[in-house]
Amino acid sequence: MKRYGIFLLVLLLCGHMASAQETSSGSKARSLTNIYVSAGNYPGVSSNLSLEAFRLLAPGSALLQNDLSHFDKSRSSFFDNSWLIRAGAAFSPKIEAERQRRIRHEFRLAAVYGGGTLYSDYYWTENRYPADTFVSVKTGSIYVLDSIVTRSYGMEYNRKYLGLDASLIFYSPSWRAFSVYAGAGMSGNFDFDNHVNIGYQQYSRLEQSGATGVEFFRVRGNLNFDYEEENIPTANAFSASLFLPLGVDVKLSRHERGMGRWHLYYELRPLWRVAGIPELKAHSEFRLQHSGGLRISLN
C-alpha cells in the first residue's frame, strides 16, 4: 500500500484546495472566472527502464527470456509518443478591479486524460560472416562478400491514464493583449490499460568485405527479415507529480467583450513524477511537459 501513498495524498490535497476555494468568505470569496481546454505531450524521448525491470513487468515474455548479454544497449530511446487532453476551470478572488489589473492570481483545477509510452529500452547487435565470392566479368576483380546479420530487441511500457491536477497561478500585469504567468501545482493519475510491447527483429544483407568509397559493393535489399512481437498486459498503476507551470497568454481581441474573452496560451511544465508500478519499486524522474490551448474568461 505504501506505493500508492503519494497518489492518495495528492488527491486529498487537491480536494482540500478545491474545497477551500468554495468555503472562503468575505473579501476572500472566490468565483469561477475561466474555463480551459488544452492538449499536450512530453517532448523528446521516453525514459529508459532496465532490462531487468522489463523482465519483472513481463515475466511471461518468451522473447525476454533470451540471453541478451552480448547485445549492446542503445544510448537513445524511442521518441516519446505520450499525449494528453486537459479540461478545467479557474477560480479567482473577488477583489477590486484596480488591483485585478495590476496583478492577479487564480486557483486551477483540471481533469486530465492521456496515454502513450512511459518507459522504453532498446538492445542491438551486428555480426559479420563470410558469405560468397564474386568475380567481375568486366574487370576480373574478385569481390569477397560478407553476410551482415543485425538483431535487435525493443521494449515499451505503455498505458492510459485519468488524472486530476491543481495549481495556483500568478499572472503578470497585461501588456496590451499579452501576459505571462507562473505558479506551482500537483497532480495525481490512475493508470489503466497498461501493457508491455516487446519487438524482436533480425535482418541480413550482403556487403563487400573491407571495401570503402567507390569500391563499395552491396547487394540491394534484405536477404532475410524476421519479426516477432509480444503484447503483455500488466497491473494498473498510480503516479503523482509536482510541477511548475510557466506560460504565455494572448487575447484574441483587445476588446473586453466578445472575442476579447478568448485567449490562446502555451504552457511549459518542468515536473518531478513518481510512478507506483505494482511489479516494480517506486520510480521517480524529472520531465518536461508541453501544452497549448484555449482559455475563455467569464468575467
Domain assignment of residue 74, given as a range: 2-297
Q: How far is CA 50 from CA 47, 53, 64, 65, in A?
A: 10, 5, 12, 14
- On whether the CB atoms of residues 57 and 277 are closer than 8 A, the answer is yes
pLDDT at 128: 83
- Which of 3-17, 30-44, 67-81, 195-209 has the least mean pLDDT? 3-17
- On whether the CB atoms of residues 34 and 296 are closer than 8 A, the answer is yes
Task: Give 11-22 pLDDT, tens digit per residue.
Answer: 444 444 444 444
Grid cell for residue 83: 499525449
Task: Give 232-261 pLDDT, tens digit per residue.
Answer: 999 999 999 999 999 999 988 777 677 778
Over its C-alpha atoms, the chain yields an Rg (Å, rounded) of 27
Beta bridge partners of 239: 189, 275
Exposed / middle / buried, residue 118 (Cβ in 10 Å: 0-12, 13-18, 19+): buried
Look at the chain and report how many structural domains it folds into: 1
Convert 30-66 to b/e letters by CB count within 10 Å (16 or more is b).
beebbebebebebeeebbbbebebbbbbbeebebbee
**CATH code, domain with 164:** 2.40.160.20
pLDDT at 234: 95
Confidence bin at 184 (pLDDT 50/70/90):
very high
Q: How far is CA 71 from CA 13, 68, 74, 266, in A?
A: 46, 5, 9, 42
- Which of 38-42, 161-165, 209-213, 246-250 has the least mean pLDDT? 209-213
pLDDT at 189: 96
DSSP-derived 3-state class of residue 102:
helix
Mean pLDDT of all residues in 179-192: 95
pLDDT at 19: 43
Task: Give 106-135 pLDDT, tens digit per residue.
Answer: 999 999 999 998 888 899 998 888 777 766
